[in-house]
Amino acid sequence: MISFQKSAVLFFALALAVIFMLETASAGVIYRTIVKREGNLDFPAQKINGVWKGTVGGETTFYDIGLGACGTYNTNSEFVCAMPFEMFDPSPNGNPNLNPNCGKEVIVSRKVGGVVKSVRVICVDRCAGCKFGDIDLSPAAFNIIATPAEGRVLTNVTYTGEPPRAP
Ligand SMILES: *[C@@H]1O[C@H](CO)[C@@H](O)[C@H](O)[C@H]1NC(C)=O
C-alpha cells in the first residue's frame, strides 16, 4: 500500500515534470516564430549567380531618392533601397543598370522592445557609403521601422533574391 506522503511526493514530481515539458515546448515555439519573422538566420546572405539571397545584420539609414544605379528614377515616397556597393558589385559589362540585384525584393526588419517592425522594399540603387550588411532606405520605408530623428538603426536585412510578389 502506497502511503499518503509518498503519493503526494509523486504527484508533485509529476506536476513539475509536466510544467517543465510545457515550458520547453512553448519556448521552442516562440524561438522558431521570432527567427521566422526576422528572416531565416539559418540562411546567411550569400550571392548565387550574382543575386543576393538570405539574411545579414547591419545598420539602416535613409537618403534622398532620385536616379539610381539601376537606371530608374524613384521618389522618397516609394518603398525602395540602395544596397551596399560590396554586395551590389560587380555589374555585367560594368553597367550597373544590368545588375541582377536591381528590382529584387529586400525585407528590412528591426526588433525594438520585443516587437519586430519590418518593411519590404525594392533594390533600385547602389550605396557607396554602406558597409556590408547595411542598407540605405527611402524616407517612406525608413519611417515604417524607425523615426527620422533616430537616423541610423540596427536591422536584419533579408534578400529574397526574387522580384516582389503582388500583394
Ligand atoms: C536580428 O536577428 C536576431 C536573430 O533572430 C535577433 O536576435 C536580433 O535581435 C535581430 N536584430 C535586430 C536589430 O532586429
The residues spanned by each domain of the chain are 1-37, 46-159
Give the distance (Å) from ligand 1 centre to CA of residue 43. Answer: 14
| 148 DSSP 8-state letter | G
Closest residue to atom 1 of ligand 1, CA basis:
156
Does the beta carbon of 146 lie inside 6 Å of ligand 1? no
Provide φ and ψ at 147, rounded to 5°: -105, 150
Report which of 36, 54, 32 is spatially closest to residue 45, judged by C-alpha positions: 54
Q: Does domain 46-159 have CATH number 3.40.980.10?
A: no
Band of pLDDT at residue 87, cut at 50, 70 and 90: very high
In this prediction, residue 3 carries a pLDDT of: 65
Please, are residues 37 and 109 in contact by the beta-carbon 8 Å criterion? yes
Band of pLDDT at residue 166, cut at 50, 70 and 90: confident
How long a stretch of residues is the chain? 167
At 109-161, the pLDDT tens digits run 999 999 999 999 999 999 999 999 999 999 999 999 999 999 999 999 999 99
Does the beta carbon of 34 lie inside 6 Å of ligand 1? yes
